[in-house]
Homo-oligomer: A and B are copies of this chain.
Amino acid sequence: MTLVVQKYGGSSVSDAEAIRRVAKRIVDTKRLGHNVVVVVSAMGDTTDDLLDLAGSITDHAPDREMDMLLSAGERISMALLAMAVNELGVPAMSYTGQQAGVRTDNHFGKASIVSMVPERIARSIQDGNVAIVAGFQGVDDQEDVTTLGRGGSDTTAVALAASLHADVCEIYTDVDGLFTADPRIAPNAKRIRTIDYESTLEMAANGAKILHLRAVEFARRYHVPLHVRSSFSEKEGTWISDKPANPALKGIVPQSALNYYPQEDTVEGPIISGIAHDRSQDKITLVGVPDKPGSAAHIFEIIAAAGANIDMIVQNVSTIQKGATDLTVTMPHDDAKATVAALEAAKGEIGFAAVVHTGNVGKLSLVGAGMRTNPGVSAKLFGALSEAGINIDMISTSEIRLSVLVSLDQLDDAVRAVHTAFGLDASETEAVVYGGTGR
């Protein structure tokens, strides 16, 4: 028998009506003959409301207590959802992270899953129940409640799907799947029907907000097929996997997922998955860094000590000083201030001329296979930006991604220009965007 894990985010269970709609979908899936395990987030604004309550008490809430507080949110949504499914005549039981066997380390607020032992869930579905599990939470080895941090519910769902050997993990959200670009920016953006894990990772890491990096990494490691789709429509979503879907899933996954074989080596030219963008980065440039051994190592030690996650790195000949270089890095806005302060403090020691901090940057990433081996891709990208009058600030590449930094106020134009240049805004009957579907 097939097992379908479904994950519903907060916007899918925002009120009683939404919960009833989700219950209907769960029951429909169950009645198609699939076993169903559901992972649910807290209702709509619950988490924000709880954070506000905590904020009205203290600015220094202990992390352990904050996790205890926030974990109440999923209890409410999961119990209500179980009631709603029961109301439709299908037995359902809700389970906390602890009951579902989600064991984590003790990093409250951003815990990592260390083991999954979902014995009760396996028994529950064998007994014919829909098992409804709290997302985002687990317990540490002291039985203390922990939360998994951002993307935690997606991660719970993927981890459960992996340990239960589910045929698919459906991630329900408020859009129809992954798109070739953000439809709010590029109105002609199309749904990606099938995509591999690596390209999805690059999309997620570079600003596409639908899926969390962490959940995709988990899915990739354990080969969990993901289906990202909308809880507000019956439309097909995006199939993310390295293999075709179990034929028994016909009717609940995209048709193209059933005969999907992503095999990059058989592909002649580059196949573009889509365009991700990111507004959350700051740029920090060290001007006139002495061009001597050890300078760069010293600088990156300081940045690491400041706790910053570096994204892009570029080094050039200095604009102001002979025999020196300019070194530019990008990092999340929230990390930048402390990093700049740490670098300023080390200025004399390292001997650079100045630190220049620019907040106003946007990053555009073109994601797809065959990127590096095909020089035409970068030429086309730079040409499109140039024609649109957009200056490129920095460039960074990976095997399947090409990112450029542009001025923040030109980012939307850049996304549209590149989307058009790569033929992504074709009509509804466009060619397949990524990898061997349709064969």
Q: Which residues of A contact B (CB under 8 A)?
A: 16, 19-20, 50, 53-54, 56-58, 60-62, 64-66, 68-69, 71-73, 75-76, 78-80, 82-84, 86-87, 93-94, 96, 98-99, 143-145
Contacts and interface: CB of A to CB of B under 8 A. Distances in A.
Given A65-B82, A80-B69, A143-B99, A60 B75 contact: no
13 contacts: A16-B53, A16-B57, A53-B76, A53-B80, A58-B84, A58-B86, A58-B87, A65-B93, A65-B94, A66-B79, A68-B78, A75-B75, A96-B145
Given A66-B79, A68-B82, A72-B72, 12 more contacts: A16-B53, A54-B83, A57-B80, A62-B83, A64-B93, A65-B94, A68-B96, A72-B73, A72-B76, A96-B145, A99-B143, A99-B144
A50 B19 CA distance: 14
A72 B69 contact: no
A69 B75 contact: yes
Q: Which of A72, A84, A98 has the most CB of B within 10 A?
A: A72
B62 A82 contact: yes
Contacts of A76: 50, 53, 69, 72
A80 B98 CA distance: 21
A349 to B, nearest CB: 38
Contact of A143 (B56, B65, B69, B98): B98
Contacts of A69: 75-76, 79-80, 83
B99 A83 contact: no
Contacts of A53: 16, 76, 80
A80 B65 CA distance: 7
A143 B87 CA distance: 24
A397 to B, nearest CB: 46
A66 B87 CA distance: 13
Contacts of A99: 143-144
Contact of A65 (B68, B73, B79): B79
A75 B75 CA distance: 10
Nearest to A134: B68
Contacts of A93: 62, 64-65
B86 A60 contact: yes
B72 A75 contact: yes
A52 to B, nearest CB: 9
A16 B94 contact: no
Nearest to A69: B79
A93 B62 CA distance: 9
